[in-house]
Copies of this chain bind each other. A is one copy, B any other.
Amino acid sequence: MTQTLRLGIAGLGTVGASVLRMVARRAEALEAATGRTIAVTAVSARDRSRDRGVDLSGLHWFDDPVELARSSEIDVFVELVGGSDGAAKQAVEAALGAGKHVVTANKALLAHHGAALARTAEEHGVALAYEASVAGGIPVIKAIREGLSGNAISRVYGILNGTCNYILSRMEAEGLTFEACLKDAQALGYAEADPTFDVEGFDTAHKLAILTSLAFGVEIDAEGVSVEGISAIQPLDLTMADELGYRIKLLGVAQQTAAGIEQRVHPTMVPKASAIAQVMGVTNAVTVDADAVGELTLIGPGAGGAATASAVVADIADVALGLARPTFGQPVPRLASPRRVEMQRHEGGYYIRLTVHDRTGVAAGVATRMAEANISIESIVQRRSAKAASSDPQGLSGQPVPLVLITYAATEGNVREALAAIDRDGLLAEAPQLIRIERE
C-alpha cells in the first residue's frame, strides 16, 4: 500500500469548501482510480471563525498560506487564494521550491508568472496543475495538452467568461441594455460589485493567454492580448446581428497567422448555426481547430464552486497517479517566444454600425471611402424607424439613422482608415460601432 497523498488547501471560499467535500465524498472512487488514498490534512484561510458548512476538525490550521505551502505535513499544495501576486504567488513559489506539487485555479497568477513557475516546477520534478484556471469544469487543458498531442493547432477560441455570456444572452433574449443586465447579474451573484475585470475582457484575456501557450507551444504572453469588452454593445447591435444571421459573443481568440500569433478578446459575431452560438447564459465553450481532428468543441460550466472543484480534483487525481507532465505540454526551455501580431494586421469580416445624418448621398459617401480603403461590402442595411418615416417622409430633417455594413475579409488597419475618412467627411453623428466576425 502506497502512502496517503496529503493535501493542503489555501483558500476556503466556495471552491475550497467544494474541494474539501468532494475529496471526502469521492474518497473511495479516487482511491480506486489512483491506487492511493487522498486526504486533506491542512488548510489555510483568512478567518478561522467563519462557518463554511464544512467540518474542519482534525485538519491542521495555518494562518499563513506560505507556511502551509512549506509544511512537511502536505504533499500537494492546493492554491485557491487568487490574485496574480502577493500571498498566492509567494505560497506557490514556496511549495514548488519545497518540492511539493501545486494545483491551482488561479488564472491571473498563471497568465502573469506561468512560465517562471513552470520552470521552477520542472526543476523540482513536481507538477504545476491548473485545469481549473480556464473554463471551470470543462477539461480543456487536458483535451488540448493530452488529447490533441498528435495535432498541430491553428486556432483556439472560446466563450471563457460566464458573466459576459450571461449579459449578452439576456440582452439578446429580452432586448435589454447592457447596464440593466449587468445589474441583474450582480444581484444574482454572477458579476462582482466592480465588474470591470469581467465585462472589459481581462478575465477572458488571462484564460486565453494560458490556452495560447498550450496550443502553440509558446511562453505565456498575457500582455500581448488585444482586449475589448462588452460594455459598448447596444441592443440595436444584437437586433442587427439576429437579422444578419449572427449572435454576439465575447470571444477569446488565439490564431496562428503567417505574421505570428494573434491573441484577441472582443465582442464577436458568430454564425447562428455554429455550436458556439448555442451557448447561452453562464456556460463556457472552447473550440479548437487542429490539422488532424478538424474542429473540436467542448461546452460546459465555466464557474461555480462544484464545477471548479471538479477540475481541481481531476488535477489532484493526476498528481496521485505520479505523473508530472511538462506544465505547458513541453519543458519551458523548449517553449518559443510568441511573435505578436498587432491588431491592425488582423484580417476578417467586420460588422460596422454607423450613425449617419439622414441626408442624400450619405450612403454613397460611405461606400466610396470603403472602396478607397480596399474594403468590399457583403451587405448593407439602412433603415429608418417607422416613426421617423411617418413624421418626415422625404428624409429632409437629416436626423441620425443607423447604417450597418458587413464587410468581406478586410484588415483592421484598412477598416480603421476608412472610418477615419468617413468621420473627417462629417458623415457621422456618433462614434462608429465595430464588431469583428469570426467564421467557423
Interface, chain A (partner B; CB < 8 A): 18, 22, 26, 29-30, 32-33, 131, 136-139, 142-143, 145-152, 217, 273-275, 278-279, 290-301, 306-307, 309-314, 317-318, 321-323, 325-326, 329-331, 334
Contacts and interface: CB of A to CB of B under 8 A. Distances in A.
Nearest to A19: B150
**Which 9 A-B pairs rank lowest in CB-CB distance, beginning with the nearest?**
A139-B147, A150-B313, A32-B330, A137-B293, A296-B300, A292-B310, A292-B306, A297-B299, A149-B317
A146 B150 contact: no
B137 A314 contact: no
Nearest to A141: B147
16 contacts: A26-B151, A29-B330, A30-B150, A138-B296, A139-B143, A139-B148, A146-B318, A148-B314, A150-B309, A150-B314, A273-B278, A275-B279, A291-B306, A294-B307, A297-B299, A321-B323
Given A275-B275, A298-B298, 5 more contacts: A26-B152, A32-B217, A139-B148, A293-B301, A298-B299
The quantity of this chain's copies bound in the complex is 2
Contacts of A329: 32-33
Contacts of A148: 139, 310, 314
Given A146-B318, A293-B306, A323 B326 contact: no
User: Which of A138, A290, A292 has the most chain B CB within a 10 Å cutoff?
Assistant: A292
Contacts of A30: 149-150
Contacts of A291: 306
A407 B278 CA distance: 27
Given A294-B137, A300-B295, A151 B273 contact: no
Contacts of A301: 293-296
A331 B32 contact: yes
User: Which of A26, A33, A295, A325 has the most chain B CB within a 10 Å cutoff?
Assistant: A33
Contacts of A325: 33, 321
Contact of A298 (B33, B296, B313): B296
A354 B22 CA distance: 49
Nearest to A325: B321
A246 to B, nearest CB: 15
A314 B362 CA distance: 57
A300 to B, nearest CB: 4
A150 B32 contact: no
